[in-house]
């Protein structure tokens, strides 16, 4: 079902996702859609969490005991690589309505928060509040991804600049 919703978004935008279009594309009955997701908004929320989980899963292998500079650079690079490998999911994350479960997002992001928190506490990274990790620390990556997904430039060309920019925000 989520793949069908993503394909519809990819081919026609968010407005292309209707219950009728979902049933036609997936072969699932509308009753099943309502039973599992509750509504069109529920489909979007599930797709958002699924896509976000995929992005975070791509980053988590970077979180180890290497020097902070290496880990941060690796984490950002892995995120950018995920975007290149999953442009439809990335585009959805940047255009989806704000229906995602905030608690689910926080739980998925917890390993990243924990790693950053421990490194800030040890002095390996600049101290920042948790809320700053996404908009401030990853801000250069997010804005670059948005523009690259719109076709402004190839994401690969910006990769090293973005990685350096994120590191400059958190270096002690």
Query: Nearest 5°: phi and psi at 100?
Result: -70, 145
Contact 19, 47 (CB under 8 A): no
CA-based nearest residue to 36, from 24, 54, 25, 23? 23
Give the span between the Cα atoms of 33 and 35, in whole angstroms: 5
| pLDDT score of 97 | 72
Give the span between the Cα atoms of 78 and 154, in whole angstroms: 16
Contact 88, 140 (CB under 8 A): no
Summarised one tens digit per residue, pLDDT across range 86-132 is 999 999 999 887 666 788 888 999 999 999 999 999 999 999 998 89
pLDDT at 156 over 90: yes
CA-based nearest residue to 136, from 103, 104, 165? 165
SS3 1: coil
Architecture, CATH, for domain 41-170: Orthogonal Bundle (1.10)
Mean pLDDT to the nearest integer, 33-53: 91
| pLDDT score of 155 | 95
Summarised one tens digit per residue, pLDDT across range 129-155 is 988 988 899 999 999 999 999 999 999
pLDDT at 166 over 80: yes
Residues present in the chain in total: 172
Where along the chain do its domains lie?
41-170
Q: What is the pTM of this model?
A: 0.91
SS3 125: coil
Query: How many CB atoms within 10 Å of residue 112?
Result: 19
């Amino acid at each position: 079902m989520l793949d069908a919703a993503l394909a519809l978004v990819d081919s026609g935008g968010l407005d292309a996702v209707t219950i009728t279009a979902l049933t036609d594309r997936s072969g699932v009955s509308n009753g099943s859609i309502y039973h599992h997701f509750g509504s069109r908004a529920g489909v979007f929320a599930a797709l958002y969490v699924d896509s976000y989980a995929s992005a975070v899963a791509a980053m988590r292998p970077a979180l180890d005991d290497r020097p902070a500079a290496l880990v941060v650079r690796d984490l950002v690079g892995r995120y950018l690589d995920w975007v290149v490998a999953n442009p439809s999911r990335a585009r959805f994350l940047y255009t989806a309505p704000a229906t995602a479960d905030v608690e689910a997002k926080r739980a998925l992001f917890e390993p990243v928060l924990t790693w950053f928190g421990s490194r800030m506490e040890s002095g390996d990274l600049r101290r920042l509040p948790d809320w700053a990790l996404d908009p401030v620390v990853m801000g250069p990556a997010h804005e670059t991804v948005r523009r690259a997904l719109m076709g402004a430039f190839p994401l690969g060309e910006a990769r090293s600049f973005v990685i350096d920019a994120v590191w400059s925000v958190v270096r002690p």
